[in-house]
Structure 1
């Protein structure tokens, strides 16, 4: 029995011993395995450290052998196995590339390297991290494509790759990440279509794809993302309609899709199915339709931005949007030019958190509500520009003392600037331009010490410029152009050194000198004091404006010489000193200004040799007219050669004899000429009235013109006018195709028309005026008087034939005239008229502006011609111009302004009227002489009745058939119609100036 017990005890001991050894062997094996894995992770971390080239905060100094790697900075390990679970080095400005050895951290769950300076590609080896849940690599400089291997990390919940330089396409396999909740890929260079598989990631909460180059449409499958809260697609190339299924994702709080190519309309009930929506941004797309009526119940909405689309109609009440802080309706077609348009504005008084309000560039009319004082006291920015708002500016607007920005330009506000604006102590941008504001600039403007930009141009302000503006020590832009301001330029203003962008005092009545304090504008880029009554010399220290790019001093009475210091302004691109009393030579050093692209010194008293290099080597970049003593320069300028000074010499006996004979012969010759003149008068012979052109152009014979036109055959006839016919000809000697205008001298007024055209053509030269080549004043084969002018032939004929093609005679243009072409032609014509009115030594009024007098060359550049009705305006005291009284106006019915029928005074405003009618004709395709325009109706009233909501009903069908689609084209049309109406109003004083027209046309062109 005892023996059995001993056997049993021995067996039990053996069994326990074996278990002990087995257990320790397993632990020992596990220890060996952990040690091997730890060595792999240690090596991986050391390799990661080696790839770091810059560690400005010395974060990785703890990564050394004296510490276990689990104790290193940024490392989190599991407690038992000592395996790396998290690598977090966010925001330490580390620089280097991502080591592929990170893929050996097989237990890694979180990798956070965002907000550093890592470059190179994302290692494909990250695809080995099967347990990875969080990948944060945002805001680095990583490049290349997103590795497809990354989609093998099936446990990924969040991917942050935004703010890098990643390119290529989003991997198609991304749909395999079924656990993915956050996907941030914004601010990269990704392209192609959004993978279809993304729309199957049913766990997705955030999808951010903004600021890439993605394209294509969004499918209805986006509705599968039932838990989606944030959708960001800003600044891509996405197109098509936003799927209606998107509006059924009730979890959405943010939808941001600005700056794409989305079209279509918004569902009227969208805010009922999106009850949590706080942010909705769809600006800068091609959306249309109405603002959803359900917005009245969007009580969670905080930010609503639909700017730069084609939304139209009435804006619903926003009274229930208590949390709204950003509202942007800008650049649409909202409103109906009705007094009811302001109703929705009144509802904004309930939006107590509103900070930004933008309703600019719409169709809103009416007065600003008086209860604007009850709007949110948090208001920081208000944009009201480019509407039809009118009336006085409410004084209660000044109660919004936290305003930083207030823009009200391009409306019809009247009255004075409210004194309550003195409360705008934080105001940075104030723009009241292009209204009808009167009175004086209040001195309290100088108390707005935070102002960066002040624009009050194109109003009816009078009085002096307050010196107190000099107290605005932060002011960068000051624009007071086109008012009735008088007095001197305050030194405190022109010496305001903070003006670094613009000082514009153009077209006022300022007097006195240009203060020497102008040198304090050291860093200003644009300075314009043109069209005032400034005098004295241009300060020599103007050359200290080292950043100056644009300088315009034209249309004043500056005297003295051109400051040589201007050659020190190396940044100068545009210099206009024309229409002054400057004398002396052009500084040679100006040719060294490598950036100078435009130089106008016309109509001064300059003399001496014109430089040849730099801007002077381009005849189209410089204008020198009206300086009769200038010489030399490049051959294209056609100036007389400069002669060196001659040494005095002794006269020989022969020279003295010649002088005596000349002195005797000259009176005899003069008497002979007088006798001949009197004989011609008695015989009723016409005196050659083409002499005005003899000194400029070589005359051509009747015989040459007869041959050039095949005997003035009907097959060469290309047009006719009031006083003659125009033929196409080929001058054999020069092999030039020309247009020959032959006067019908049997018609009354033809000779006067010829003389007027000769006089006008002698004084003008501009790229948008028809260029005369020569003239003929002779007799024909039958001995009858013959007069003709020869012009450069215009390949594309007259504008009239493009606007009104004669289908019956098969006179149809090869192509249809686009909106862009029409705008460019209007710009050309406006430029020509502006030149005639303001840049000629003696201003010229064309008096017969119409499509048949506008010719198009082979590049479709417009040239204004036919100066047979042109009239000069005479100067008075070198400052103002008197309207010339003539006996008969030879304009064309429909284009002639109404005041010409009541008096015989011509004016610049008369040409402006004709230009306005031209604009309306080019937009509607209808002649102003149509029989339908009778009994007090004309083209202006026809357009005015359709303006603005019915404009598309009267637009030229050709335009409608080829391109009037989308927001941009429609806005351009609206702006063009507005210009045409503003130029052709009945009262001459209310017409827009041709210079303002030119500026607005160029803005319209640049927006296309």
Structure 2
């Protein structure tokens, strides 16, 4: 194909090149033709750069005439012709539109602009790229219809446009791409039907169009694609009877059609005709009938999800599914409330890879078999709630020691909670509500230290709430309502500072007072202690629960007045204090709670005038009956008017008021003078005693105070040994920031501040946390104040992604293998820069997941240089400028030689990096309780990864994922093994045996090239 010259100005320059073009095609001088092609590529790339409005990492800085374009970042040329064959700029947060001049890169075979912020349409000129094989533009903000001219690129093998804002229909012409292997266009706004021309894509392996608005049925023509391996059309508006011919396509390895409106039953022999199927997901449709008995022969099946349909009958024997990892049967009509319903659980004991099992909300009856304790030792999620299961909970259930989540709610279980539940040392979510369980809440509940959610509501539990529950210091939601519990509320509950989602103790027989310690739950969202026998006053400290939204105190014996401190609860939406013995007036300050939508104080002994602003303006949101001495308020309340009180001040009273006013003014002036003197004196001392923090741009305490709402707890996003971190707004730069405030009362905090300033003042790298400014001065109380200001990272820390807290979320935060690989490379790049590219070697000394922050695009940034060391190299000798802080890292990540007094070193950082790599792949912390008797994470991986890889992996890495490589499973395994080898090489006990960061960076980039980018030549 002849090269195109597009949109160039018609000048002598163009005529010269047109003349050269003629020579190339009609004359014998091929060197001239190559020169023309080179110049065309050069101009096209410069035009591409011109439309980039933001390049935060400076990746295009070298794109200028001082360097040949084949050496520019992201450009790969053919060695022979020096023409551009690959344009790879993935993940650099580039803003702008895609230049149509890209259509001039006539030899381009690989175009990857994924994970940026490109907007506008996809230029039709890209259809001129006749050699293009890989077209990857996923996760941008591109709009418009599918680029029709792209169907002219007959060499295309892979198209990925997922995660954009494309609309319109899939054109019928896309069937002309007969060499297409992979087609991803999910997560857009496409409509219309899947065109029947898909029949022509005879080489298609993967067809993924999930999360769109497509309608109609899957065209029957798709069944002619003999190479098709994975079809994913989930989360659309497709309907009709599911194509039976798909069940005869022996090439299929995955079918994902969840969240549509497909109907019909499953053929009895379907699993006999799909011998390679490992993923089958049809949840959230209208399928009916029984589960085919042929599933017993689905030996390759890894995930089977039919939840949210209308399946009936018994579950067949599944014992031969040796590779089964996830079984989802929830929300159907399976079982007939008989004793044989749960027999299939016995056969599941043979499924040694089973990680997740859900049978929630069916018609299963009978009792739980004792053999349930023989299920896979790696079973982590077990959902059996919402059925008709009766009898006692088998003690053998305690054998499932890997359980992270167990829900058994809304059945007819009875008896006591088995003592064997003390073995659930990994449990994070335990749901036993809605049964007939009796006896005391066992004291061993405090040993379940990983609990996030504990639900035991609506049972027959009795006795006191055990004091040991205070040991559950990760608990975020506690529900013990609708039981027969008695006694006082343990103070230990109010010292579970992690309680943020809610505390529900309602409808029991609890007595005593609501203690002042309730104010310790500063971040809690809901408190419900209604319908008990609580007495005494409502503590004013409840106003310290600044994030409280729902407060239920009704149906108790509370006395005294309504505390005015409730007005501090700015986010309060629901307040019910009815049916108590409260007296006094309604505080007028409550009318200032902007979000308050319901206020109930019925049947108390309140008196006085009802406020008329805020929630009190709308009678439909108020309940005040049974308070005969209330008056005023809006007319709809039909309360009597309040009497007018006239108070005439006496001469004596006037004299007393004047004397008080004069005294107050004198005291204020005196305090003001003393404060100025004390602050000046302290500032002089600080200026002489405080070491320099170098020439960092300073910001005032006032601006930081204003940008964080006075350093409110609502803006607190983390804390460490020497600091607290707040989210705020830096008004001077109009951006969200993270503000690290030093706790100067802690020994070493001041030196931590200096160490971090000195470490970060001259370093600039895309994978390092960037210090924007700092503050070193005094606060409003005249006390010393120091803070560092960084860019705010929306996606938090790597720690939060590796060990997510929200186990009950429909979409928990997890990282796939590609993300983990990219994050690992980011961290390695940062260490390479610190160890080899800075004027002074910087030793981080505390590499761990909580010190790795992730920005909006999941790019990793190494942070927290509070114990970093600077090393100056002078004539082959080195000396360290240390912070003199005694800490040398974190237990589990710090190398063993540091514990024996060795100096910090680059090999020490490599040990920490190696342990972090192993943690990213296994999902286990180096301090995991499983490591006993001298064992550690390194030994655990070293002894198992070659023979039993799947057992040591983070379960989220074992799930079925879509990928670009048609041999996904072998490729993933090879990638994982390579990463584990690097992690082991970096975490060797001897520093001399550890891998260097130079070798690590090179190996990781090779892995990414092979696994992610693929072979494209």
Q: Is 1:523 aligned to 2:523, yes or no?
A: yes
| TM-fit CA distance, 1:24 | 13
Task: Quote the residue 1:364 is aligned against.
Answer: 364
For 1:31 and 1:220, locate their aligned partners in 2 and report how far apart those are by CA, in whole Å: 52
Task: Quote the residue 2:405 is aligned against.
Answer: 405
| TM-fit CA distance, 1:530 | 0.4
For 2:25 and 2:389, locate their aligned partners in 1 and report how far apart those are by CA, in whole Å: 91
- 1:518-552 per-position Cα deviation (integer Å, ceiling 9, x unaligned): 10111111110001000000001111111111111
Task: Quote the residue 1:865 is aligned against.
Answer: none
For 2:374 and 2:182, locate their aligned partners in 1 and report how far apart those are by CA, in whole Å: 42
Aligned residues: 626
Task: Quote the residue 1:257 is aligned against.
Answer: 257
SS of the aligned residue for 1:339 comes to coil
Task: Quote the residue 2:377 is aligned against.
Answer: 377
Contact 2:24–2:33 (8 Å) recurs in 1: no
Task: Quote the residue 1:898 is aligned against.
Answer: none
For 1:160 and 1:24, locate their aligned partners in 2 and report how far apart those are by CA, in whole Å: 35
For 2:120 and 2:457, locate their aligned partners in 1 and report how far apart those are by CA, in whole Å: 52
Q: Is 1:108 aligned to 2:141, yes or no?
A: no
For 1:266 and 1:25, locate their aligned partners in 2 and report how far apart those are by CA, in whole Å: 61
Task: Quote the residue 1:317 is aligned against.
Answer: 317
For 1:603 and 1:71, locate their aligned partners in 2 and report how far apart those are by CA, in whole Å: 81
Q: Is 1:228 aligned to 2:220, yes or no?
A: no
Contact 2:185–2:208 (8 Å) recurs in 1: yes
Task: Quote the residue 2:563 is aligned against.
Answer: 563
Q: Please list, as runs of the form range in 1=range in 2, the aligned pairs for 1:422-501 lying within 5 A after superposition.
A: 422-501=422-501
- 1:236-260 per-position Cα deviation (integer Å, ceiling 9, x unaligned): 1111111111111110001011111
Distance 1:133 1:604, change over 3 A: same
Task: Quote the residue 1:769 is aligned against.
Answer: none
Distance 1:148 1:351, change over 3 A: same
Task: Quote the residue 1:195 is aligned against.
Answer: 195
For 1:317 and 1:24, locate their aligned partners in 2 and report how far apart those are by CA, in whole Å: 71
- 1:7-63 per-position Cα deviation (integer Å, ceiling 9, x unaligned): xxxxxxxxxxxxxxxx99998632222212211111001111222233343333333
Task: Quote the residue 1:625 is aligned against.
Answer: 625
For 1:247 and 1:488, locate their aligned partners in 2 and report how far apart those are by CA, in whole Å: 62
Q: Please list, as runs of the form range in 1=range in 2, the aligned pairs for 1:913-928 lying within 5 A after superposition.
A: none
| TM-fit CA distance, 1:208 | 0.2
For 2:647 and 2:208, locate their aligned partners in 1 and report how far apart those are by CA, in whole Å: 84
SS of the aligned residue for 1:312 comes to strand
For 1:189 and 1:500, locate their aligned partners in 2 and report how far apart those are by CA, in whole Å: 36
For 2:535 and 2:73, locate their aligned partners in 1 and report how far apart those are by CA, in whole Å: 73
Q: Please list, as runs of the form range in 1=range in 2, the aligned pairs for 1:2-17 lying within 5 A after superposition.
A: none
For 1:326 and 1:147, locate their aligned partners in 2 and report how far apart those are by CA, in whole Å: 38
- 1:957-985 per-position Cα deviation (integer Å, ceiling 9, x unaligned): xxxxxxxxxxxxxxxxxxxxxxxxxxxxx
Contact 2:197–2:221 (8 Å) recurs in 1: no
Contact 2:24–2:30 (8 Å) recurs in 1: no
Contact 1:258–1:281 (8 Å) recurs in 2: yes
Q: Please list, as runs of the form range in 1=range in 2, the aligned pairs for 1:144-163 lying within 5 A after superposition.
A: 144-163=144-163
Contact 1:227–1:249 (8 Å) recurs in 2: no
| TM-fit CA distance, 1:234 | 1.2
- 1:269-292 per-position Cα deviation (integer Å, ceiling 9, x unaligned): 110111100000000111111111
SS of the aligned residue for 2:126 comes to helix
Contact 2:295–2:318 (8 Å) recurs in 1: yes
For 1:71 and 1:236, locate their aligned partners in 2 and report how far apart those are by CA, in whole Å: 44
Contact 1:222–1:245 (8 Å) recurs in 2: no
Q: Please list, as runs of the form range in 1=range in 2, the aligned pairs for 1:793-812 lying within 5 A after superposition.
A: none
For 1:26 and 1:432, locate their aligned partners in 2 and report how far apart those are by CA, in whole Å: 83
For 1:241 and 1:591, locate their aligned partners in 2 and report how far apart those are by CA, in whole Å: 57
| TM-fit CA distance, 1:618 | 1.6
| TM-fit CA distance, 1:95 | 2.9
- 1:133-168 per-position Cα deviation (integer Å, ceiling 9, x unaligned): 111111222222221111111111110111222222
SS of the aligned residue for 2:118 comes to strand
**Unaligned stretches of 5+ residues in structure 2:** 1-22, 649-1017
Task: Quote the residue 1:759 is aligned against.
Answer: none
Distance 1:541 1:647, change over 3 A: closer
Task: Quote the residue 1:608 is aligned against.
Answer: 608
CA RMSD in angstroms, aligned pairs only: 1.8
Task: Quote the residue 1:44 is aligned against.
Answer: 44
| TM-fit CA distance, 1:198 | 1.8
Task: Quote the residue 1:635 is aligned against.
Answer: 635
For 1:29 and 1:161, locate their aligned partners in 2 and report how far apart those are by CA, in whole Å: 41
For 1:564 and 1:628, locate their aligned partners in 2 and report how far apart those are by CA, in whole Å: 21
Q: TM-score, normalization: structure 2?
A: 0.60
For 1:73 and 1:577, locate their aligned partners in 2 and report how far apart those are by CA, in whole Å: 66
- 1:664-683 per-position Cα deviation (integer Å, ceiling 9, x unaligned): xxxxxxxxxxxxxxxxxxxx
SS of the aligned residue for 1:507 comes to coil
SS of the aligned residue for 1:462 comes to strand
| TM-fit CA distance, 1:559 | 0.3
For 1:287 and 1:25, locate their aligned partners in 2 and report how far apart those are by CA, in whole Å: 62
- 1:742-798 per-position Cα deviation (integer Å, ceiling 9, x unaligned): xxxxxxxxxxxxxxxxxxxxxxxxxxxxxxxxxxxxxxxxxxxxxxxxxxxxxxxxx
For 1:26 and 1:67, locate their aligned partners in 2 and report how far apart those are by CA, in whole Å: 31
For 1:58 and 1:603, locate their aligned partners in 2 and report how far apart those are by CA, in whole Å: 68
Task: Quote the residue 1:390 is aligned against.
Answer: 390
Q: Please list, as runs of the form range in 1=range in 2, the aligned pairs for 1:547-586 lying within 5 A after superposition.
A: 547-586=547-586
For 2:586 and 2:88, locate their aligned partners in 1 and report how far apart those are by CA, in whole Å: 68
Task: Quote the residue 1:179 is aligned against.
Answer: 179
- 1:424-452 per-position Cα deviation (integer Å, ceiling 9, x unaligned): 11111000001010111111111111111
| TM-fit CA distance, 1:70 | 2.2
- 1:820-853 per-position Cα deviation (integer Å, ceiling 9, x unaligned): xxxxxxxxxxxxxxxxxxxxxxxxxxxxxxxxxx
Contact 1:157–1:182 (8 Å) recurs in 2: yes
For 2:25 and 2:249, locate their aligned partners in 1 and report how far apart those are by CA, in whole Å: 58
For 1:170 and 1:219, locate their aligned partners in 2 and report how far apart those are by CA, in whole Å: 13
Distance 1:462 1:43, change over 3 A: same
Task: Quote the residue 2:511 is aligned against.
Answer: 511
**Unaligned stretches of 5+ residues in structure 1:** 1-22, 649-1008
Task: Quote the residue 2:592 is aligned against.
Answer: 592
Contact 1:593–1:614 (8 Å) recurs in 2: yes
Contact 1:220–1:244 (8 Å) recurs in 2: no
Q: Please list, as runs of the form range in 1=range in 2, the aligned pairs for 1:648-727 lying within 5 A after superposition.
A: none
Larger radius of gyration: 1
| TM-fit CA distance, 1:194 | 1.5
- 1:868-895 per-position Cα deviation (integer Å, ceiling 9, x unaligned): xxxxxxxxxxxxxxxxxxxxxxxxxxxx
